Structure 1
């Protein structure tokens, strides 16, 4: 059996370049695959590996006192959910355009999944989804406020839409928690007084309280694309991009020039040969459709140790 680990930690790294190289070597030694971002502000990643390798990795990371607050969200899977290993050095561990915000110093109050569940339906509370549109269109909490975000870096521009809720408790949530740390910190900076965040995100909420009232599926950034989190009162909210019938099936458009993330039912997937529209189905560069709607990137002679000394994102 294999596992998928989802994790992040905002903590100052004095030499992120050196840490990146050391962390890359650790992952190579353990045959982990995935996407890890290292920045001066901390660490953010999703990796897959054998149970033994994941256990060794978690022990190594948590032995570093800088990551004392880091928590791993763990899912059991049948095989690797990534084809490659990338450990990238970036300016932020999540691209937010909020580089001045330091969540390890000040951020919204963390709520356990049970606390979030107990608070979310109160009249003095508003639940805010800080994820991108393709994520919340696939699944979101009942009655959550969404902000028409194409990318998280758009979040600061959308905060004005929350002014009407300034007298309420703001409960933010995202997939694993990393975006909420900056989103809730920014809300506090903008004068919102009662700001909270779902600690561990949707994934932990599913693990600990069964995902109750999370409608649809949760988009994840690995080969699974989407996962079920609600075992209490599940429902489907996404609709086929073509026929508009309910469909939880998320695909990438077979036209690589489009590559849109859209729900597409099996019938329409067959009809359009994996494309999101008739025009994309006729595109000369359209990829062969195998019924899954996922297209692993070409390796381009990739090797796991690629660029250890000189690699940059």
Structure 2
């Protein structure tokens, strides 16, 4: 029986005093019994929290209506999924320089955005292999390599990033991959692909879109069409399938590798300690 509501949301906007929001947000989350992580930075807010249905509804209403936020979160859009148990161990509200680190100060999504494409429109493009203007469509995965290994769109470009700050240099080295094509950047929930699309647009790559709401919203609105596998998430659920339900995958406490059910049957797997991948890496060192 599913009893926990998982909320994910972000918004780029100018937040002049992030520290003034930190204590009241933490207090409200504690009052409602929510757990998760909320990031506050001069460029906006990024949150992943989970709790009861009543707590989730009360929190979203508070963010949108409390005078503390001066109306800046009225249009904050939340993605929801359900789970049988709480996927977070504790509640954190952190101050950061960026809500998603790219190290590119010129990229300010709160002031300008690249065009977005809805899940329904993207599916239509992928069904026929071209966009509405007849240009071939290429999907660009902006996530880290280990996330992509859990699942991604068919034939998506995967540059094996280990962190998002590698994205600008990687794209510069592969500009020819996008010539004459429509590029759709995507990620888990939309935050990375929003910055990615804006960066590509700013350096002169033509016909760039971001997938509105990322993979999770795509799953919610059109299911798993053109997508292979599951979607990695940064909580104890590890991965969600196209029905937005947790899978049997786990993540190793030691090396953070994503473990399939077969991996979990290995004699080297000890929950909370290590797995076969840990031993392989030690042997190769």
- Structure number with the higher helix fraction is 2
The answer as to 2:121 corresponding to 1:115 is yes
- Return the offset for 1:42: 0.5
Match of 2:151 in 1: 139
CA offset digits 1:207-234 (Å, max 9, x no partner): 1111212110100111101010169xxx
1:276/1:249 Cα in 2 relative to 1: closer, same or farther (>3 Å)? Answer: farther
Q: TM-score, structure 1 length as denominator?
A: 0.78
Unaligned runs of 5+ in 1: 232-247, 284-313
Are the equivalent residues in 1 in contact too, given 2:184–2:210 (CA < 8 A)? yes
Match of 1:296 in 2: none
Are the equivalent residues in 1 in contact too, given 2:237–2:250 (CA < 8 A)? no
Match of 1:84 in 2: 90
**How far apart in 1 are the matches of 2:90 and 2:147?**
23
**How far apart in 1 are the matches of 2:209 and 2:154?**
17
Q: TM-score, structure 2 length as denominator?
A: 0.86
- Return the offset for 1:155: 0.7
**How far apart in 2 are the matches of 1:184 and 1:37?**
21
The answer as to 2:272 corresponding to 1:276 is no
* DSSP-derived class of the 2:265 partner: helix
Are the equivalent residues in 1 in contact too, given 2:266–2:276 (CA < 8 A)? no
**How far apart in 2 are the matches of 1:249 and 1:25?**
34
- Return the offset for 1:250: 4.0
- Return the offset for 1:181: 1.3
**How far apart in 2 are the matches of 1:104 and 1:282?**
44
* DSSP-derived class of the 1:45 partner: strand
| RMSD over equivalenced CA pairs, Å | 2.2
Note the 1:1-313 alignment, pairs <5 A.
1-63=3-65, 64=69, 65-120=71-126, 121-122=129-130, 124-160=136-172, 161-229=174-242, 250-253=249-252, 256=254, 259-266=255-262, 269-274=265-270, 275-277=275-277, 279=279
Are the equivalent residues in 2 in contact too, given 1:264–1:276 (CA < 8 A)? no
1:20/1:265 Cα in 2 relative to 1: closer, same or farther (>3 Å)? Answer: same
1:132/1:28 Cα in 2 relative to 1: closer, same or farther (>3 Å)? Answer: same
Are the equivalent residues in 1 in contact too, given 2:142–2:187 (CA < 8 A)? yes
**How far apart in 1 are the matches of 2:149 and 2:14?**
34
Unaligned runs of 5+ in 2: none
The number of equivalent residue pairs is 264
